[in-house]
Amino acid sequence: MHFDTHAMLARFRERAKAVKDRGLPPVEGPERQRFREQAQLDYMDFAMIGDAEATLEDGILTLRIDLRPR
């Protein structure tokens, strides 16, 4: 089986977009805030991986993510 790094990164970009576009469920108070905070973390994680440069060499997947300010 061939591992496609480009397809993997595309899936993470899709997940980031899905989290960003997802509405808030009908919950109130502290639960609503926790849901919002988790969505922000999920978006950040998925977006960072989606923006990574991926290499696969000798069976080792390396993700390079530039976190320097633009």
Extents of the domains making up the chain: 5-64
Is the model's pLDDT at 2 over the cut of 90? Answer: no
Across the range 55-60, mean pLDDT stands at 93
Helix count and strand count (H, E) for the chain: 2, 2
Is the model's pLDDT at 1 over the cut of 80? Answer: no
Q: What is the pTM of this model?
A: 0.83
Is the model's pLDDT at 52 over the cut of 90? Answer: yes
Give the pLDDT of residue 65.
96
Q: What is the DSSP string of 3-21?
A: --HHHHHHHHHHHHHHHHH
Per the prediction, the chain carries an average pLDDT of 93
